[in-house]
Amino acid sequence: METEGFVLKSISVRNLASLALKNACPRCFWIRTRLGFKAPWSIFPSIFKDIDAFSKKLTGVHIASHQAPPSWLMKFGSMLGDRLPVPHWSKFSFQDPSTGIALRGEPDEMFRVQDGTLAIFDYKTARYSESQGQLEPLYRVQLGSYRWIAGHLGMGETSLTGLVYYEPHTSASAESILEVGFKIEFTALIKKVETNLEEIDRLLTEVKRIVSLPVPPPGVEGCRDCKSVDEIRALVLA
């Protein structure tokens, strides 16, 4: 496989962050860029988007009713002020002058802290577990990217970045049963995340290096996606 003259104009926060994961495969990343980061046969359940949207609405309802953020967000320890409208990813974007690649994304929540800085949060519908802990580099770069974009757009310095895990209660009880169905309760677990803007610059440089290659670089040993690609290629060429 060889491509010449390929130019990557923009990259999402999540796709950039994938390079921060342990055993991130540069070969798979190169191929994904040529596919427009659209993996074949990949389906993302819409229920998670529904829960995410519901979480944001609840935050707004709480602020409208109590003139303050929900108590679990206040556990981050900073004096949160006004809730800020989150720009759409098409607006929350900045082109890196060094690589020419625009980094784009859309955080779940933004607040103005009382000292004038920003607080940026992302919601996760999951229990915090060992497997979630392995995704910390992904989430760190995601939040760092939001901070990077906000700074370049002149929105101000970000002093607080963090995750809000909405952990489901799955033990069944009579109180969970409704006449029209059932309900699931969620408990909010907050986790501060330290970010590094230099890491974002480094990863953008690495993206530029990989995508500029005319042929895919070697993959990571034992990469299951590489194995699948090779098996598909063998079937097509058989």
Tens-place pLDDT, residues 87-105: 999 999 999 999 999 999 9
Over 80: is that where the pLDDT of 130 sits? no
pTM: 0.91
Return the amino acid letter for 47. Answer: I
What DSSP designation does 213 have?
-
In a domain, 137, yes or no: yes
In a domain, 1, yes or no: no
pLDDT band at 1 (very low <50, low <70, confident <90, very high): low
In a domain, 136, yes or no: yes
The total number of structural domains that make up the chain: 1
Report pLDDT for 176. 86
In a domain, 5, yes or no: no
In a domain, 3, yes or no: no
Range of the domain at 229: 10-237
> How large is the average pLDDT for residues 173-198?
92
* Buried-state track 185-210, b at ≥16 Cβ within 10 A, e below 16: eeeebbeebebeeebbeebbebbbeb
Report pLDDT for 4. 63
Tens-place pLDDT, residues 52-78: 899 999 999 999 999 999 999 999 987
In a domain, 140, yes or no: yes
Report pLDDT for 210. 97
Over 80: is that where the pLDDT of 40 sits? no
What DSSP designation does 216 have?
P
In a domain, 4, yes or no: no
Which CATH number goes with the domain that contains 88? 3.90.320
CA distance linking residue 190 with residue 209, whole number of Å: 36
In a domain, 2, yes or no: no
Over 90: is that where the pLDDT of 27 sits? yes
- Reading phi first (left if > 0) and then psi (alpha if -120 to 50, else beta), residue 206 is in alpha
